[in-house]
Chains A and B, each alone.
Chain A
Amino acid sequence: MEEGLTNSEILLIYEAKMCNPNGDPDAENKPRIDPKTNINLVTDVRLKRFFRDYIVEKFGENYVYVTKIAGENVTAEERVKMLLRNLDEESLHKVLERCIDARLFGATMTIKEKPKSFIGPVQFTWGFSFHKVEVMDTSAITSVFSGAVEKYGTIGRDWRVYYSLIGFYGVVSGRRAKVTGMSQNDLKVFDNLIWKALEVQPTTRSKIGERPHLYMRIEYKDADTVLGDLRRFIVVNQKGEAIRDFKDLDINFNELVNNLERNKDVISKLYLRTSEELSFVEKPVKSCCPEKFSKLPHELTDAEIKAVIERT
């Protein structure tokens, strides 16, 4: 663990086109939508799942504490060995050492029958669409839903939204990083891979159509600064009659840039990555503090990323 990990604030914008950004398990897996405002909601857990799934796919499930199967960390054999009895402090340390998601997002585990929680240094709020969304007329599908291995499929419905431009806001706490042992490199891997995950992970039927548009991480000089939700500075207006595509929206970043300008003295680094469509944001953001600006991704080779994840 190195000294001097400081706070950061993160803004992530991605789109979901003709797909289901986050289904509600209690409502036929309908997209989560606030019924009164028609704003699309996405849980923080869904976002973290992109990152975890990508790690599992690329490096194997040994490096993720919360895996898809349901449970805990490491290989199946070790999993059972570790989990059939209660964990002790040492295995807990092992979990943090081995699982990058536990270092980033925290973990809850049972030690001597007492639940112990680590609040992760990287926290995201729920994401929401910057505009009202419309749900597509659905079609019935047949599928074998999870949990049951049956001969016949169940008939369900395939809910999707036409278009949703989703924003997430997150905070990185330097002080909490010390507790879980998150390193500067862990964070760099996260910067690179969350984008990658959003690009390549949506390959299941209901997720095809998701694409990242903007990732910004504002790194501060100390482990105390938190300026607050960055999404409040973004103004999105509808251009056309209906929102079906990115070009039906008008997005204004002026307030965000003004806010960066106002606070540039407390900023130590400014990381940004944008899609083609949002590349116009780069110039004004960079001009706030050109000497602190860097474009993402970080220059990390696959081998280097692997070394960070494996802690070798």
Chain B
Amino acid sequence: MKLLVFDVKSFFAHFRKHFSTTSSLSYSFPPRTTIAGMIAAILGYDRDSYYSIFSSDKCRIALQVKSPVRHITNTLNYLMTDKPLTLKKLMGAGGSMQVHVDTLVSGERELSQLSFRIFFNHEDEKLMNEVADRIRRHKFSYPPSLGTANNIASVEFVDVVDAEVYKPNDEVEVHTVIPISVIKKIYPQHERKIYIEDLVPADFSEDRKLRRKEDYVYEEKSKPIKVKVDCEVFSCTLNGDKVVGVFM
């Protein structure tokens, strides 16, 4: 299977949890639906127009958390615009609302960037080639961002590789985030910190309704996790290193 591999970096990111209300909580990595949205923006597709194009049966996405992620919370004053404003509000009484925004920064060291590696395959080869070509030349229909529009991202082309896709019988060491639903067994290893991310959207239906959600595990410092899985995995070579992944 042909896989396009690229890195997405930024100093700040925010991936809103779909179930949080007043506090804006963030997932620790971009959900599959966010990555699909980012690719749609690169291609210039409009909001709400691309959910079926990037559904899991046509398009496969895997994600590697390349650098440790840290959450910081900041409070912002928001203006309420969801209800008609009253004169009282306009005069400044109860007009603004404090919102706690959970923001991601790199946990590596100060002034370093968050880094996510994305593996992308689409059954439409033309679409895939266009994404690869645009990333290679840094040409994006809309500026790509990690989550909200102000978290502008730097996108770097890595490679287009031929990956072997197979169903492993034995345990494998996986570098990407892994849906818990496919894990049969995890083998804890020395100096590996495994994190869980709950209730992450994976697929939207045409009308933006959540069709599939997953819980994922990943390793803090991008080390592989030894697991037995009940699904297909891919294996490829990047800059001489073997990478094994599971699709989101």
**A-to-B contact residues, CB < 8 Å:** 7, 24-27, 32, 34-39, 41, 43-45, 66, 69-72, 76, 79-80, 83-86, 106, 108-110, 115, 119-120, 123-126, 128, 130, 132, 146-147, 169-171, 173, 175-176, 222, 224-229, 231-232
Contact = CB atoms under 8 A, between A and B. Distances in A.
Contacts of B95: 69-71
Contact of A224 (B77, B84, B141, B151): B141
B221 to A, nearest CB: 16
A43 to B, nearest CB: 6
Interface string B130-142: 0000100011111
Contacts, number: 138
B81 A110 contact: yes
A35 B107 CA distance: 12
B130 to A, nearest CB: 12
B100 interface: yes
A71 B85 contact: yes
A110 B82 CA distance: 6
A24 B76 CA distance: 8
Interface string B89-114: 11111011010100101000111010
Contacts of A130: 111
B10 A125 contact: yes
Contacts of A175: 44, 141-142
B120 interface: no
B6 to A, nearest CB: 12
Interface centre among B9, B72, B110 (most CB of A within 10 A): B110
Given A110-B82, A115-B81, A228-B156, 13 more contacts: A25-B76, A66-B79, A80-B87, A80-B90, A108-B81, A119-B149, A126-B103, A147-B92, A176-B142, A222-B139, A226-B152, A226-B155, A232-B154
A125 B90 contact: no
A230 to B, nearest CB: 10
Contacts of B77: 25
B11 A231 contact: yes
B15 to A, nearest CB: 15
B51 interface: no
B237 interface: no
A10 to B, nearest CB: 10
Given A27-B75, A146-B92, A229 B81 contact: no
Nearest to B80: A70
B155 A228 contact: yes
A227 B154 contact: yes
A86 B76 CA distance: 26
25 contacts: A26-B75, A32-B74, A35-B72, A37-B109, A37-B110, A44-B150, A69-B95, A70-B79, A71-B89, A84-B85, A85-B84, A108-B81, A120-B149, A123-B143, A123-B150, A126-B12, A170-B152, A175-B44, A175-B142, A222-B139, A224-B138, A224-B139, A226-B144, A229-B9, A229-B154
Nearest to A44: B150
A156 B91 CA distance: 24
A196 to B, nearest CB: 23
Nearest to A26: B75
B80 to A, nearest CB: 9
B12 to A, nearest CB: 5
B150 A25 contact: no
Contacts of A36: 70, 72
Contacts of A228: 9, 138, 152-156
Nearest to B92: A70
A119 B41 CA distance: 12
B150 A232 contact: no
B113 A229 contact: yes
Nearest to A114: B82
Contact of B149 (A38, A39, A83, A123): A123
Interface in B56-93: 70, 72, 74-77, 79, 81-87, 89-93
A130 B191 CA distance: 32
B74 A43 contact: yes
Contact of B75 (A24, A170, A224): A24
A258 to B, nearest CB: 16
B143 A69 contact: no
A66 B79 CA distance: 9
Contacts of B82: 110, 115
B111 A128 contact: yes
